Amino acid sequence: MPHSEDLLSITDVVEQTGISRRTILYHIHKGRLTAEPRPSGGRGAWLIAPLELRKYLESQDQCAVKQSA
């Protein structure tokens, strides 16, 4: 498991990608985006590894390409 400093909060992901918080949470709960629960819990309790985010974004790009073809 990556160190918690390497993980991104949902707020970080929203700022970096422009994807809405609601969409990110939906994909986490559907199992399309892997996230770790924050050890301390609380607000914004999901942490996402940058590699997982990259894989998720690539899969979304593939879906967009298939839909437009």
Determine the pLDDT at residue 62: 76
Residue 42 has pLDDT above 80, yes or no: no
Q: Residue 1's pLDDT band (boundaries 50, 70, 90)?
A: very low
pTM confidence score = 0.73
Angle at alpha carbon of residue 39, lines to 35 and 40, rounded to 5°: 125
Give the Cα separation of 8 and 35 in Å (integer): 9
Quote the DSSP letter at residue 38: P
Query: What are phi and psi for residue 46, nearest 5 degrees?
Result: -100, 140
- Report whether CATH 1.10.1660 matches the domain 4-68: yes
pLDDT of residue 67: 66
Of 33, 36, 4, the residue nearest 21 (C-alpha): 33
